[in-house]
Structure 1
């Protein structure tokens, strides 16, 4: 049997004229229209791919029995965009942590664009800032703008350009499909001056994106603070209590300063994501109040949304004479939104949320081994469910938030479980080489290194190819790892770094 594969992922393997001439029957399994002009006069059977997946043996038996001589061919016209001249594409990728998804999605878009013969440049907005930045001329010349971002990114540069917005996950896992959608569904972008989209659909998705924007800006503060605190413990677990020592200085930097900024930065950048710069000041103040009232990261999240939407409401609804309009972003909005957020946090939100946080902290610190193991199983499975997606990020944000309450065990379970998918797939390609293709074995080496660094996304190429085997096995390993971490009482103060922390 000879097989021709028509795919945007796998290199084409066309049937030769001799193959077609010698064939007793031609079987076509496709969910799209196939050009059959080559097969006129031959026995042909056509069905959907799902029929093959359901029962390949029965499918072939039916195909041989039901194949009929093809009298009239079906022709397929080339897609308009594919047949047209080379397009100039610019894109931006960004994810909450700014590590794996940002750069892997950028690479996938670049490869797909070049494969189609287009000129493409991708700006990455990662943990080290914007790289490969787009120039004004490149944006002006672009036929299409693709924004693959899980957090808010500034879009005012693209006013009046055709734009398609998606997330890093689809851009990485379904690159060809997303590229097709970009050409088909792109619309002219009109910048309104606000960070969030005006459409109802985007607004529903906005809450998660705003939260992840806050988390992404908070992470460097938490990582730096956690590592500096860990350095202070090198001199002894309680060495920092002795004033004037290096250990005490390190604890002051990490615990007294960096960790003190954690919740204000979270709240400030949630508000920034919602209302742009006018939301930053009320968000920072609200976050500081959440920290001082004991409301913890839950209070910080609440403060960020309260401040952000208060500032946005003022920006959209308050109309002033043209001569006073310039005062809105630097005086009126920060003053009124900060006052409103502060009063709400002190008199309404602070007390109840503080009680919830205290209860949660007491429960986590005093729970028995059975409850701890169950929590480890849940967090571990969540970390491995979607490899950097919303469920993974929710578990991670939960662990990071608890660091502000000096609750360190969940973070250890989360990091240990998050290393499992990439490490596991890397080890699998080494221990069972005959089950993997050469390119997969090479990807396994990179996956192993990424796993050591607590970057779960190294397993994505394997999960995309065989999700029904890879994801459940990763979840099982992650759940076991999380359970063991909680059972052994492991603790971790730095939320990133993997083996190196």
Structure 2
């Protein structure tokens, strides 16, 4: 498998691009707060989050910490006019990187890594009933506001667990996140007489967006009739998440990945895998299969 195109694409995407995800996320969180002086400490904090085991959650914390530390230094530190030019390109990145780095190593990294380890152990040892309940909760959250804060909180929870090789919650999250746009799109095809021409056209777009795991495709329908659309989507998402977790489905990609069986004795059961996409079974074997 090492010399195949799928393996090469996985090395590019999963091995390199995904390795940069947390540092780049932290860097640009800091950049959004403190502009260019925050980028370097954010990237360093994100790298320390990855190496220290605090993963996605640690990267978010590092990004905010780096941004606000760099911003505070920028506003509070007064230098002679002759040295002002050095402040944004040397002094602020250097000092804030030192502060953020020490904080990540001695204050933040280990507690967050410990919480993730506990959560991973709990998820891996939970019974089927608890797994189904968790899947239902995550699925309902994904469909509550379709791209809003509740949706993003559920998604962040799933992404945070990817660094601990816990893939089942992300599968439930992705499956449930597709429910609202797919449901609205199918509804416009099955019950065409209940929708006007504009809604039927919007349903076609919702179908495509749903297949791409973009929950926002259902927003026009929810905005038009929230009292009927939202409860149906939430119930559908909860059922989908529960089925996914109960069936031990897993996916190791943060977005737009195929979902496969977690059965360690089963064949590579993912359907419709794009070239280079990787799903894993519980036995740890990579499932690389080009279309």
Answer yes or no: same fold by TM over 0.5: yes
Give CA-to-partner distance per residue, 1:187-219, whole Å, 9 cap, x none. xxxxxxxxxxxxxxxxxxxxxxxxxxxxxxxxx
Q: Which has the larger radius of gyration?
A: 1
| Structure 2: tracts of 5 or more residues without a match | 259-271, 274-291
Q: Is the 8 A contact 1:274 1:312 kept in 2?
A: yes
Alpha-carbon separation, structure 1, partners of 2:110 and 2:201: 54
Q: Is the counterpart of residue 472 in structure 1 residue 227 in structure 2?
A: no
Q: Is the 8 A contact 1:384 1:418 kept in 2?
A: yes
Among residues 94, 99, 102, which one is paired with 1:335 in the alignment?
A: 94
Deviation at 1:341, TM superposition (A): 0.8
Structure richer in helix, relative to its length = 2
SS in structure 2 at match of 1:388: coil
Q: Which residue of 2 aligns with 1:418?
A: 177
Give CA-to-partner distance per residue, 1:278-297, whole Å, 9 cap, x none. 01101111111111111222
Alpha-carbon separation, structure 2, partners of 1:442 and 1:301: 38
TM-score (norm 2): 0.83
Residues 423 and 251 (structure 1), Cα distance of their counterparts in 2 relative to 1, 3 Å cut: closer
Q: Which residue of 1 aligns with 2:159?
A: 400
Deviation at 1:249, TM superposition (A): 4.9
Q: More deviation in 306-315 or 362-371?
A: 362-371
Among residues 298, 320, 327, which one is paired with 2:57 in the alignment?
A: 298
Q: Which residue of 2 aligns with 1:485?
A: 244
Alpha-carbon separation, structure 2, partners of 1:245 and 1:384: 38
Residues 438 and 255 (structure 1), Cα distance of their counterparts in 2 relative to 1, 3 Å cut: closer
SS in structure 1 at match of 2:166: coil
Alpha-carbon separation, structure 1, partners of 2:116 and 2:60: 12
* Number of aligned positions between the proteins: 260
Alpha-carbon separation, structure 2, partners of 1:250 and 1:453: 20
Deviation at 1:246, TM superposition (A): 6.2
| Structure 1: tracts of 5 or more residues without a match | 1-234
Q: Which residue of 1 aligns with 2:214?
A: 455
Q: Is the 8 A contact 2:116 2:161 kept in 1?
A: no
Q: Is the 8 A contact 2:34 2:67 kept in 1?
A: yes
1:359-374 pair list within 5 angstroms: 359-374=118-133
TM-score (norm 1): 0.50
Looking at both structures, which has the greater relative contact order when contacts are Cα pairs under 8 Å and sequence separation is at least 6? 2
Residues 477 and 498 (structure 1), Cα distance of their counterparts in 2 relative to 1, 3 Å cut: farther
Residues 437 and 245 (structure 1), Cα distance of their counterparts in 2 relative to 1, 3 Å cut: closer
Q: Which residue of 2 aligns with 1:229?
A: none
Structure richer in strand, relative to its length = 1
Deviation at 1:252, TM superposition (A): 4.2
Give CA-to-partner distance per residue, 1:214-237, whole Å, 9 cap, x none. xxxxxxxxxxxxxxxxxxxxx4xx
